[in-house]
Chains A and B, each alone.
Chain A
Amino acid sequence: SQQGEEDPQALSIQEGENATMNCSYKTSINNLQWYRQNSGRGLVHLILIRSNEREKHSGRLRVTLDTSKKSSSLLITASRAADTASYFCARLETSGSRLTFGEGTQLTVNP
């Protein structure tokens, strides 16, 4: 079973609105990453935030990390219908080399 939690499980918004997804975890991490997946296809890497960073931006994406609360959030601004996909957080724990994924958030952006 997964050791992280993402919420919400599903999110439906209108084009132009912002979408926020949250991820929580229980262990110490080296870094945390966000991935996107369209319809059961391969994962696309979006952004990586290291444990000593608090915020990172990439285009319309903004990721925050709060290691004291063991949580991260992904904000997609000015969403587009093409942003419709599943979004996963994945953490690299300090003790190993594996990525541990959450259950994902299914985002639907309605035109």
Chain B
Amino acid sequence: ETGVTQSPTHLIKTRGQQVTLRCSSQSGHNTVSWYQQALGQGPQFIFQYYREEENGRGNFPPRFSGLQFPNYSSELNVNALELDDSALYLCASSATRTGVYHEQYFGPGTRLTVT
């Protein structure tokens, strides 16, 4: 167990709806990254938050947005859901210090199904 938790575990939504996924980072970690993993593929980077600011974004449209809170937990919001948004959404927390890379610890993921 990494200490990173995600909720909910599973979610079913209808095309066009909006969804919010949540992630609690490991104690002492100030950085959260979100990844989307489609079935049979490797995870793809969505964005990263460091000290409540977006710190890098992958090739995802603006309807994918996020937040990081003062306790370093994070939310991923997806508007106007499309069928292709069906995937496992993973968050990972890490401790970022200038010039030093630390490992990312992944949560168990949220399985989103869009019908």
Chain A positions near chain B (C-beta within 8 angstroms): 2, 30-31, 33, 35, 40-45, 48, 88, 90, 92, 96-104
The chain B residue sitting closest to A50, CB to CB, is: B101
Residues of A within 8 Å of B4, CB to CB, are 42
The chain A residue sitting closest to B31, CB to CB, is: A97
Contact A42 B33 (CB under 8 A): no
Contact B45 A43 (CB under 8 A): no
The chain B residue sitting closest to A106, CB to CB, is: B40
Find A99's partner among B88, B104, B109 (CB 8 Å cutoff). B104
B61-94 vs A, Cβ < 8 Å mask (1 yes, 0 no): 0000000000000000000000000001010100
Contact B56 A103 (CB under 8 A): no
Cα(A98)–Cα(B92), bound, Å = 11
CB distance from B55 to the nearest CB of A (A): 6
Given contact pairs A42-B2, A45-B105, A98-B33, A2 touches B41 in the complex (Cβ within 8 A)? yes
Residues of A within 8 Å of B107, CB to CB, are 42
Residues of B within 8 Å of A100, CB to CB, are 45
Find A41's partner among B35, B56, B92, B109 (CB 8 Å cutoff). B109
Interface core residue of B42, B92, B104 (most chain A CB under 10 Å) = B42
Using A45-B105, A97-B96 as known contacts, list a sample of 6 further A-B pairs with CB atoms less than 8 Å apart, ordered by residue number in A: A2-B44, A35-B106, A40-B109, A43-B92, A92-B101, A101-B44
B1-25 vs A, Cβ < 8 Å mask (1 yes, 0 no): 0101000000000000000000000
Cα(A103)–Cα(B50), bound, Å = 27
Contact B43 A101 (CB under 8 A): yes
Cα(A100)–Cα(B88), bound, Å = 16
Cα(A86)–Cα(B56), bound, Å = 27
Contact B42 A102 (CB under 8 A): yes
Give residues 39-53 of B contacting A (CB, 8 Å).
Answer: 39, 41-45, 48, 50
Residues of B within 8 Å of A99, CB to CB, are 33, 35, 43, 45, 92, 104
